[in-house]
A and B are shown apart, each in its own frame.
Chain A
Amino acid sequence: MTALEAVSVYLPPTRVSIESLAGPLGLTEMQVKLFRRFHGLREVGRDADASLYDLLMKAAAGLAELRGQEHRVRYVLYARTMPVIAPYPVNPLHEVCRALGLGHALAFTVAHQSCASGLLAIDMAGRLLAAEPAGPAGTGYGRAGGSGPLALILSGEKAFTREAQMFADTTVFGEGASACLVSAFGARDRLLAYASNVRGEFDSATGENDARLQREYRPSLAEVMGKALDEAGLTLDDIRVVLPHNVNLVTWQRMCLLLGFPRDRVLLDNIPTSGHVFCADVFLNYQTACERGLLEPGDRYLAAAVGAGGGATFAAMVFEH
């Protein structure tokens, strides 16, 4: 069963206030107030001196479990929000792979589901690893705690264009990165279920269904959360904590009303100080939940994300810690 073996997150130490972004982003005073008062976005991370390569390397540097295990890594998946992040032929993903001694791994990007691509990458990594041929008997290859194949999922981006800095009065993106080792048969943080719903009609390029997306956003997210729970044979009452995407506070406050789920069990801590860290939200919030001692062995938790842009994707995953 797909499992998260280890997670590392890097957030830039430098934070910039939402007010200081008003000039560069052309925000009105009302938009700044809206972000702060209702969306709960106070500041976001920015690392002017770090390239995307630097961000990803800093996240990977914290992944002690990767040291000495590089030969086991078959796949490197880069889950990201933006379709284009560097001019050809620059390829930060391949540069990172070479620097980490992972040049042998098959490396590719998962971006078509925008901010929901992180959850898709976890599902893909697990399925790719499960399809790997079994090793010789007795080697433990392919089993928990053995020498089985691994996948590395990287995420995180530079807020390098206006589109990569904010999304239409909804969220402000923060820089940061994450690195996550995934195995096919791990024992801890096992993936119990994954559900997603891709809605191509919500294409922000045309904007013609924007009002409908706003109306259907929360019910659609609730629906995939319910599907993932059904698939896991659980109900919301079994969920210790929800790891949200960090789009904004008010969306999740209203999600809680819709779901009848207590707000103090949705990990909203990182929204005011880090903003929406692209696809890294789920890993950042997982790390925070562990640091705060919110997850005991055996606890089930649910990660949820919405990717909006070229269509919308609603996605949810249920894990057991």
Chain B
Amino acid sequence: MTAQETGLDGEFRQQVVSTVITVLTRLLDRAEPVTEDMRLMEELGLSSTLGLELLLEVEDQLLILIDVELMDQDQMKTIGDLATFVAAHSQPG
């Protein structure tokens, strides 16, 4: 589903994607490129704890508060899924 179809702010979502990629690359100390379609757990080995650390950093960098309690990890397989959720479920922090 595209950002337009879900009524999301596509520009903001793209900002989330690039922030997630930047933070993840550092947190995972990864030399290879990280892309939007990558699966967080299976491909990148992201643990629950590191996932929360990622969200904290994204919140800090984008000055937002994410509705973490509404997150369903099973529906957030890829970086793109995560960015879509964050763009739809966050407020200015």
Please measure, in the bound complex, the distance between the C-alpha atom of A253 and the C-alpha atom of B45, giving whole angstroms. Answer: 23
- A residues 245-275 near B (Cβ < 8 Å) are 249-250, 253-254, 257-258, 263
Given that A30-B53, A30-B56, A33-B56 are contacting pairs, would A38 and B68 also be in contact in the complex, using a CB cutoff of 8 Å? yes
Query: In the complex where A211-B47, A214-B48 touch, is A38 in contact with B55 (Cβ < 8 A)?
Result: yes
User: Apart from A250-B52, A254-B73, A257-B70, what 20 extra A-B contacts exist at CB < 8 Å?
Assistant: A34-B49, A34-B52, A34-B53, A37-B56, A37-B59, A38-B68, A170-B49, A211-B45, A211-B47, A214-B47, A214-B49, A215-B41, A249-B69, A250-B68, A250-B69, A253-B68, A253-B69, A254-B69, A254-B72, A257-B69
Residue of B at shortest CB range from A248? B52
Within 8 A of B (CB), among A160-200: 168-170
Contact with A along B9-47 (1 / 0, CB 8 A): 000000000000000000000000000000001000101
Which chain A residue shows the least CB distance to B67? Answer: A253
A169 touches B49 (CB 8 A): yes
7 sample A-B contacts, Cβ–Cβ < 8 Å, listed by A number = A30-B53, A210-B47, A214-B49, A250-B52, A253-B68, A254-B71, A257-B71
A154 to B14, CA, bound (A): 54
7 closest A-B pairs by beta carbon, nearest first, are A253-B69, A169-B49, A214-B48, A38-B52, A257-B72, A34-B52, A33-B56
Binding site for A on B (CB under 8 A): 41, 45, 47-49, 52-53, 55-57, 59, 68-73
Query: What is the distance, in angstroms, from A204's C-beta to the closest C-beta of chain B?
Result: 13
> Which A224-253 residues have a C-beta within 8 angstroms of B?
249-250, 253
Binary interface profile of A, 17-35, with partner B (CB < 8 Å = 1, else 0)?
Answer: 0000000000000100110
Chain B residues in 8 Å Cβ range of A249: 69
Bound Cα distance from A30 to B27, whole angstroms: 12
Q: Closest Cβ of chain B: how far from A63's Cβ, in Å?
A: 36
Complex contacts, A38 vs chain B, CB 8 Å: 52, 55-56, 68
- A215 and B56 CA atoms in complex are apart in Å by 20
Task: Check B56–A34 contact: CB distance below 8 A.
Answer: yes
Minimum Cβ distance to chain B for residue A262 (Å): 12
Q: Which chain B residues lie closer than 8 Å to A34 at the CB level?
A: 49, 52-53, 56
Closest CB-CB distance, A272 to chain B, in whole Å?
14
A121 to B59 Cα, complex, angstroms: 42
Contact A263 B56, CB 8 Å, known A211-B47, A214-B47, A214-B48:
no
**Cβ 8 A contact of A263, one of B41, B69, B72:** B69
